[in-house]
Amino acid sequence: MSRVRRTVRTLADGREIIYYDEEPSGQPRSTEDTRDLPPVRPGTEIRRDPLTGEWVVLAAHRQTRTYRPPANACPLCPSRPGSATEIPESDYDVVVFENRFPSFAQGVPAVGSTVEGSPLVPSAGGIGRCEVVCFTSDHNRSFGELSPRRVRTVLDVWADRTEALAEVPGVRQVYPFENRGTEIGVTLDHPHGQIYGYPFTTPKTERMLAVARDHRRDTGRAVFGDLLAAERAHGQRVLVSSAHWTAFVPPAARWPVHVLLAPHRQVPDLPALTQAERDDFAEVYLALLGMLDGLYGRPLPYVAGWNQAPVQSEQELSWLHLEVLSVLRAKDKLKYLAGSESGMAVWINDTTPEQMAQRLRAAGDRRTVRDR
């Protein structure tokens, strides 16, 4: 983190806040949080479904979280006279703080080892950590409008927090992600993301690891590496490619807009990326986001999340990649997870990956022409 200055402070209710400033020679952050806040007492519990083996998170306290406040009451903007927010400073570059309404946390109440009256259902406290990452102090800016330098800073922050959360007691997997747009369910419009430190390996990751394990046994190679090589050689679904990264529409895409962005070298997680790979990511990701916003001529609602190896396990099977997906199947039409998807987890896509890749490349070309 030599590129930025890192300052750790404490909010009024005891939560940690970390400032990442792009001018290392500046003064450390020192503004106190003067709000009168009650202590955070999350009551998260996890229960394992005996029919699928998957963990389900119960976090009833999140029902009271802040929901779509007006811009002048945004809790992620810098504080100003008469309006104290989650960030005490009057300005910032990138800031991370513990979520006030976490899905996972330290010090959650103990629960029984099984659900009362249902001994087939294991249960435990939702031990872990949830953080909020604010990409900029500018309320009206999107991730795709950040400078390459700021994107590089955010990537460094994700890597730094991945290492930190991997040391938190109970955390088994770290997932940095961004939700963008009301159609996705975003409750705060300020450009931000989150980081979840799960107390288990997620079901999706477990399935991917099982497939990778079988492929490694049968071929001696990494399944993601073989997929990436095939997509780069074929090219029809490739959107952006550089010295270190390639973005492509997966050949079995589930979502109307579905993109994978991966490094050419197998690495298990964000901290393992080299300085050159981190520099290159900023340019490639900004080009991809330009395509996404150009697709329908409007800001695209999306989820962008990093698939990383579980904490201190399965490193040799994992291949770091960013997955970007959107529920928007047309400019004014949403893809709903209806009977087949919700009931049977069998996905039905309304377009082909080849059609979507062609449309995204065309959207990128149109955007480039407009920007000249």
Residues 117, 91 contacting (CB under 8 angstroms): no
The four Cα atoms 27, 28, 34, 36 give a dihedral, to 10 degrees, of 170
The verdict on whether residue 130 carries a ligand-binding annotation is no
SS3 state of residue 110: coil
Question: What is the C-alpha to C-alpha distance for residues 266 and 251, in angstroms, rounded to an integer?
Answer: 20
Task: Provide the CA 211 distance to its chain's centre, in angstroms.
Answer: 23
For 76, 94, 163, 265, 367, the CA distances from 80, given in Å and listed in that order, are 12, 17, 32, 45, 36
Residue from 192, 215, 258, 321 carrying the catalytic annotation: 192
Contact 327, 184 (CB under 8 A): yes
195 touches 131 (CB < 8 A):
yes
- CA 278, CA 358: separation in Å to the nearest integer? 27
> Which of these, 50, 37, 195, 177, lies nearest to 128 by C-alpha position?
195
**Which DSSP category does 221 fall into?**
S
134 belongs to an annotated ligand binding site: no
3-state secondary structure of 127: strand
Q: How far apart are CA 95 and CA 200, in angstroms?
A: 26
Tokens of 221: 């190679």
Q: How many angstroms separate the CA atoms of 35 and 97, rounded?
A: 15
* 192 has catalytic annotation: yes
Please check whether residue 298 is in contact with residue 330, taking contact to mean a CB–CB distance below 8 angstroms.
Answer: no
**Cα(171)–Cα(160) distance, integer angstroms:** 15
> What single DSSP character describes residue 67?
-
- Give me the active site residues, please: 192
Annotated binding residues for Zn(2+): 74, 77, 139, 190
